[in-house]
Structure 1
């Protein structure tokens, strides 16, 4: 297994041609924040562009795949609108790449 990211809100590795993307905030139910969205976008982008990656597995650590948005982090923002724009931009880009990817994408939830 080749490990790209071993810590942070998203783990990414490649094993036998499969890009493995793992949401890694199990202590908060893998709830989404800006850092998670940005790292998810980077991992999905790598899977999209790397011809050695022939399939993608998307999963989450812990009991939940994802509990949605991180409401506590939203509450802590001084400019919530800008924060949410950054999150939705990264999420939209990730979903767009996943939809256009000519590789199998499996969500293990």
Structure 2
């Protein structure tokens, strides 16, 4: 599955979607937005996918929006944005709704829309030298890519406002301390450590991943009682799967479970 600005590959159930505009720091232009939307549609229909990884070719993960394209389309910038942003947002919606773990692997830089893309994933692992920036305020524009929702839900409105209107950039350690990312990995051990982390995520029972994602992302919009009811239904559905039987047997046999059912 190849596109003009992306590459997709799958190995042992782990799919990797590469942002592939390295000479432009993997910035999002009209073509990448369209490619992301098309890729999301195909990935959502890829059978036997156990995890999806987002990465960037070249020196950085993604520097956000393509400034040169903005400048070239400045005379009709509102029309341009209304053409580009909906495709980008459609991919983000698909990414969030995937029934498998989604993982962003950051290196170099993740700014603006690139940071939004990363934060939309379930897990974010950053190389220790990664720099991050919300970036929008210095362009004189408000955020897109779900940034206001993501920062507010992860950090609360006070800290979200601080990052969007005052703090210009932060490193991987600061992001980890804030709770924006999952973990920081050393530059030297990045590939080796991530291989194990991804294999561990992909080993989860598919039904459990689906149910946990639905419960966690829905928890902020329901009452405690409603969440208890949702957990009851979720637990019961998982208990009816072959993977639950395998999990119980593995626990009693003191061995690692092998989850396979979809």
For 1:17 and 1:82, locate their aligned partners in 2 and report how far apart those are by CA, in whole Å. Answer: 39
Q: Offset at 1:86?
A: 1.8
Pair 1:64 & 2:56 matched: no
Count of residues paired in the alignment: 105
| Higher helix proportion | 2
For 1:73 and 1:19, locate their aligned partners in 2 and report how far apart those are by CA, in whole Å. Answer: 30
Q: Offset at 1:100?
A: 1.1
Match of residue 80, structure 2, among 56, 80, 83: 83
- Partner-residue secondary structure (3-state), 2:16: strand
Q: Which residue of 1 aligns with 2:47?
A: 51
Match of residue 101, structure 1, among 98, 102, 109: 98
| Higher strand proportion | 1
For 2:50 and 2:76, locate their aligned partners in 1 and report how far apart those are by CA, in whole Å. Answer: 40
Q: Offset at 1:44?
A: 1.8
Q: Offset at 1:52?
A: 2.5
- Partner-residue secondary structure (3-state), 2:52: strand
Q: Any stretches of 5+ residues in structure 2 without a counterpart?
A: 107-262
- Partner-residue secondary structure (3-state), 1:79: helix
State the TM-score, normalizing by the size of structure 2: 0.38
For 2:30 and 2:47, locate their aligned partners in 1 and report how far apart those are by CA, in whole Å. Answer: 28
Q: Offset at 1:49?
A: 1.9
Q: Which residue of 2 aligns with 1:19?
A: 15
Q: Offset at 1:79?
A: 2.4
Q: Any stretches of 5+ residues in structure 1 without a counterpart?
A: none
For 1:103 and 1:46, locate their aligned partners in 2 and report how far apart those are by CA, in whole Å. Answer: 14
For 1:57 and 1:28, locate their aligned partners in 2 and report how far apart those are by CA, in whole Å. Answer: 21
- Partner-residue secondary structure (3-state), 2:44: helix
In terms of Rg, which structure is larger? Answer: 2
- Of structures 1 and 2, the one with the larger relative CO (CA 8 A, separation 6+) is 1
Identify which range, 66-75 or 38-47, moves more after superposition.
38-47
